[in-house]
Amino acid sequence: MKGRISLKKIIKYSWIAFFSGIGLFILLVMLIILGVFGKLPTTEKLENPDSPLATEIYSADGVIIGKYFNENRSNVTFDEISPNMVNALIATEDIRYYKHAGIDWWGNLAIPFYLIRGQKRGASTITQQLAKNLFPRTKFNNLITISIRKLKEWIISIQLERFYTKEEIITMYLNTVDFGSNAYGIKSASRTYFNVDPKDLKVEQAAVLVGLLKATYLYSPKFSPQKSFDRRNTVIYQMKKYNFITKQQYDSIVKRPIILDYTVESHNEGIARFFREFIRQELTQWCEENGLDLYTSGLKIYTTIDSRMQKYAEQATREHLTALQAAFYNHWKNKIPWGNIDIITPSIKRTDRYRILSAEGWTYKQIVANFNKPVKMKVFAYRGEHDTIMSPLDSIKYYKYFLNPGFMAMDPSTGHIMAWVGGIDYKYFKYDHVNVSAKRQVGSTFKPFVYTTAILNGYSPCLKVPNVPVVFPDFNNWQPKNNDGVYGDILTLEQGMARSVNCVTAYVIKQIGAQAVVELAHKMGIVSQVDPYPSICLGTADISVYEMVGAFNTFNNKGVWIEPTYLLRIEDKNGNVLREYVPRKVEVMDEKYNYVMLNMLMKTSTIKNGTALRLRGSKYNFTNQVACKTGTTQNQSDGWFIGLIPQLTAGLWVGGEERSVHFRSTQLGQGANMALPIWALFVNKLYADPTMGIIKNEKFVVPEEALPVEIDCSKYEDTTPEKNYDKIVE
């Protein structure tokens, strides 16, 4: 009958369509495999997929103290992931995960039924999602290209299942997926949202993270807490549905609130921030020379920093400077510390704002006008960040008032730097006051180099010299003065150094010569330029905290200078050692002579008018052996303190960013007031923590051989130890 299609034809055309579809499918698959629509990943790529990994920085006690990354991603093994996380993921994303070979055919067949019912339901397996994460494709906009992309993912998924076990695939997936908040991978996500390791995730925490996979911002527990809560409970329901948890567990867990410990990892946050920036610069160059990328190669950097000691150093620094800064504000109340000195103009020209406006053709007058316009900003304050309205010019002046620290502590025998505090707060004060390029006048902390040179030349610490002005005819009759203006008595070299008497030190350098002192200082690790003039005996040279602490450590290491070391080794992402670091050593002096000098340094905190007597006072209550030296420069611009105990060498500088910013009185601006308290607070924190192993009453080791000179000056005269320990002198 015309117009009626016979059953045979229907069957015939149906088979033609069916086999054509299969043929087209096979053809597309063949073309994809042949690379007509873009190359598939090679076997090598499948076995070693590229995934940008953050470089991790480890402390000596095994703590990750920071990372370098473009994407904050670090890998973990399957054993390091909580079963709760694995179960939550499978229950929500791919319940037939252990039954399929990369493609869930039953899930794909069910898609039309979900569409008829008006439900959106995908059938991408965990393996397919991994394929998308590892080998992302460009976006496609039509049905044919979308189909091609899907087929590519299927092929890659099947290949992944051939190369990896199910546990390896799920681990790779959790290591590569984006959890939002700059957290890539389960390790970063666990840390960011809950501050736990992946192996410690509870059911409710794992459910929150799995819920994020649907839409990281929409279901963020930080930014959309209610939606995150609802989505979390959906995941928990799936876990109950598939018997990963019991009904009783479900009923209990879904009622629990989401409790976050939310911290987004940032280059500006965390401990040892100045130190991390310091080594970043060195490591960046090393990576370039060795064909690596510091931000994506997944290196492991093992440092000498002790995370506990670092925290104590940062706490001690902030604790004292909070009080010192308040005293400084009160000291300069209604006055400008830098007076008529123009420190603002150079500071304006160093800012990014100035450089940008200048590059755009603005005149200096226009730029200054711009700097005078108030804007909203956050500024640093010891009580916490402060929101305010302030002009950029006023913000420059605001920060000029702050006193800055530079603190370093090291192990005497290994040279390992265990704490490094380069400033108050890295976010607001970028300049690192520890590293070798940060040089400030060292004041009286240079005097031990003078006295050590004298000891090596046969002088006795008990030698008596007149405390009178010394003239240097060959240097324009230069004549140094004592800080206290007191002259006329007779002092031993031991007293002269412990009390930091300028005239006694000048007498010594006149006898031994400045050149010999310079040579010794360089031998002890001072690389900064020190000109051989008599004035160096008062500490006129500019030297870094890094050099000074390293040099003083010679006294704590039996006369052997050991290079301060901050890196132990570098490993690649697979744990292969790429580089190891071994410090240099130089024998500066025999142990016997070294102990003579060490003993002189111990007197600084014990004899009458010693500049470090405050250590023995009621506030810090040191009763053990401490070898130390304070330092104060002209106009109190720089305050120094370097102290040794048998298990540790530590020292610091405190001062304004500009040398014109300082206290006007020695009482407030001396090293004993500006710097010593930080050292004392730090060491007392170590003593209070038994896990540090710093023994309070340990003594310096006395050499077995006889000393070259007598060090007990009481044998020559009756000396009484100072008892007024709370007295501060310099």
pTM score above 0.75? yes
Contact 224, 184 (CB under 8 A): no
Q: What are phi and psi of 9, to 5 degrees?
A: -65, -40
**What is the per-residue pLDDT for 39?**
56
Q: Is the pLDDT of residue 108 over 70?
A: no
The Cα 210–Cα 186 span in angstroms is 10
Higher pLDDT, 266 or 227: 227
State residue 114's pLDDT score.
44
- Confidence at residue 505, expressed as pLDDT on a 0 to 100 scale: 97
Tell me what pLDDT residue 353 has. 92
Residue-level pLDDT at 120: 47
The pLDDT value recorded for residue 729 is 44
In angstroms, the Cα distances linking 395 to 117, 161, 347, 374, 662 are 62, 59, 11, 10, 19
Q: Which helix (H) or strand (E) holds 631?
A: strand 627-632
The answer to whether residue 248 scores a pLDDT higher than 90 is yes
CB 410 within 8 Å of CB 417: yes
Of residues 121 and 713, more confidently modeled: 713
The whole-number average pLDDT for the span 293-319 is: 96
Put residue 693 in one of left, alpha, beta given phi > 0 → left and psi -120 to 50 → alpha: left
Task: Report, as an integer, the average pLDDT of 488-492.
Answer: 91
From residue 100, give the alpha-carbon distance in Å to each of 126, 162, 314. 11, 12, 54
pLDDT over threshold 80, residue 115: no
Burial of 68 (0-12, 13-18, 19+ CB in 10 A): buried
Strands of the 300-303 sheet, one edge to the other: 64-68, 55-58, 300-303, 567-571, 577-580
Task: Tell which residue, 174, 176, 267, 180, has the closest CA to residue 222.
Answer: 180
Give me the mean pLDDT over the 514-521 stretch. 98
pLDDT at 48: 60
Least confident of 22-36, 224-238, 366-380, 456-470: 22-36
Q: Is 423 helix (H, G, I), strand (E, B) or coil?
A: coil
Class of domain 73-253: mainly alpha
Percent of the chain with pLDDT over 70: 86
- Residue 52 CB-half CA count within 13 A: 13
- Mean pLDDT to the nearest integer, 421-440: 95
What span, in angstroms and rounded, lies between the C-alpha atoms of 323 and 678?
A: 11
Phi, psi of 25 (to 5 degrees): -60, -45
Work out the widest C-alpha separation in the chain, in whole angstroms.
Answer: 139
Mean per-residue pLDDT, 376-399: 93
Domains of the chain, by residue range, sit at 73-253, 344-384, 433-566+585-651+675-714
Higher pLDDT, 713 or 275: 275
Q: What is the pLDDT of residue 118?
A: 46
Tell me the HSE value of 153 on the side-chain side, using a 13 A CA sphere: 23
Instruction: Kindly state the average pLDDT of the residues 508-527.
Output: 97
646-698: pLDDT as tens digits: 999 999 999 999 999 999 999 999 999 999 999 999 999 999 999 999 989 89
37 pLDDT exceeds 60?
no
- Given a cut of 70, whether residue 147 has pLDDT beyond it is no
To the nearest whole percent, how much of the chain has pLDDT over 90? 72
Mean pLDDT, rounded, for 528-532: 96
Phi first, then psi: what are they for 642, rounded to 5°? Answer: -130, 125
pLDDT of residue 145 exceeding 80, the answer is no
Q: What is the pLDDT of residues 6-36, one digit of tens each?
A: 777 777 667 767 666 666 656 555 655 555 4
CATH of 433-566+585-651+675-714, one of 3.40.1190.20, 3.40.50.2300, 3.30.1490.190, 3.40.710.10: 3.40.710.10
**Residue 723 pLDDT level (bands cut at 50, 70, 90):** low
**For residue 111, what pLDDT is reported?**
46
Helix (H) or strand (E) holding 376: strand 375-379
The larger pLDDT score, comparing residue 150 to residue 133, is at 133
Instruction: Evaluate the CA torsion angle 681, 687, 691, 697 in order and state its sign.
Output: positive
**Least confident interval from 154-168, 537-551, 581-595:** 154-168
- pLDDT score for 31: 54
Which pLDDT score is estimated for 263? 85
d(CA 518, CA 501): 20
Mean pLDDT value of segment 321-334: 95
pLDDT confidence tier of residue 70, bands split at 50, 70 and 90: confident
Residue 381's pLDDT band (cuts 50, 70, 90): very high
Residue-level pLDDT at 264 = 82
Return mean pLDDT, the chain.
88
